[in-house]
Chains A and B, each alone.
Chain A
Amino acid sequence: MFSIAEYSFLISASSVQEIRSTDSLGGNVVDLDRPVLSKVRHIVERDSRSYYVVSGYEHFHVPLSRPTSVLILRDVPVAVLVDRIEQMAEMRILLGLPRSFRGEERIWYRGLTVLERKVLPVADPRGFLTAEELRRLEDENPGLLQAAGHPVGASRHERERA
């Protein structure tokens, strides 16, 4: 369970590769040359793999928050900035989002669950960046994911040459 601003969310543990403090990322962060999405401005490299850093509060359209942790996801090139990791919990049930919901939340969430008598949304790891958003990022920043392991401040030309 993680939180952003005043809201709590769940994400399945199996979809998270690693949880890091934002302070510990430092030198592994590279600015995007062309940030086509306001929620994605950086790439981070971990263990020879690179991930687009998605701002959690901008993704969910919630008020500005202070992220202190980053969830590095498995199977998708996405790292999500969140305010806090609340706890590990066992999710016993996953209920579909009522059909009355018809906005972006249908992409954001796998569904809803009930935990300690509270209804919480379950984030879809593939909802942080859709295939279309990934394509736009790659089109505007070609090859950046592969070259992101180079030092911070490296120019685009140097990265492309690399």
Chain B
Amino acid sequence: MPREAVAELIASPQLFAFPHTTPLIAGVVLRRGRILAVLDLGPGVSGALSPSTRFFLVVERHISDAPEKCAIPVQGACELVTGIMLPAENPDGFVTGHLDLNGEQIDVLDLEKAIAFSAANKNEWIPATEALS
């Protein structure tokens, strides 16, 4: 993801789940006295719910023109890299471009498009127990 969208990488000891009906939300985590919704992009990006993890990438969204930080479960192997982004062939997809890192192609995600795509792929609420398993 573009650096501007990422606030920090955190390790949170616990994900708290409660009933709700919003697609992709697996629960919330507590960070410095603030509550962050945890968005699982797995259904759209990888085709499956993300495996259980204690690492979260904190990203900033703009919902109704107001900023809000959210947490995305990741496996912990995050890295800040610099490179020239080549635009994606399909501008309508959630991959907006690619970075070439020593021959390795890294997709660059458009967070909001990825959320919309994931929600469309999982257009029903995810029981918290399922998301946590």
Interface on A for B, CB 8 Å cutoff? 6-7, 9, 60-62, 95, 98-105, 108, 112, 114, 117-121
Interface on B for A, CB 8 Å cutoff? 14, 16-22, 25, 28, 30, 34-37, 39, 61, 63-64, 66, 68, 70, 125, 128-129
Once the chains bind, are A103 and B35 in contact (CB under 8 Å)?
no
B-side interface mostly: strand
The 6 A-B residue pairs with the shortest CB-CB distance in the complex, in nearest-first order: A103-B21, A100-B37, A105-B20, A119-B16, A60-B19, A98-B37
Residue of A nearest to B23 (CB): A103
User: With contacts A105-B19, A105-B21 known, is A98 near B66, CB below 8 A?
Assistant: no
Residues of B within 8 A of A101 (CB): 20, 22, 25, 37
A121 to B18, CA, bound (A): 7
Residues of A within 8 A of B66 (CB): 99
A9 to B125, CA, bound (A): 19
Residues of B within 8 A of A100 (CB): 22, 25, 37, 39, 61, 63, 68, 70
A139 to B19, CA, bound (A): 29
Once the chains bind, are B21 and A61 in contact (CB under 8 Å)?
yes
Residues of B within 8 A of A60 (CB): 19
Residues of B within 8 A of A104 (CB): 20-21
A86 to chain B, nearest CB (A): 14
| Residue in B19, B30, B125 whose CB lies within 8 Å of A7 | B19
Residues of B within 8 A of A105 (CB): 19-22
A29 to B34, CA, bound (A): 43
Residues of A within 8 A of B22 (CB): 100-103, 105
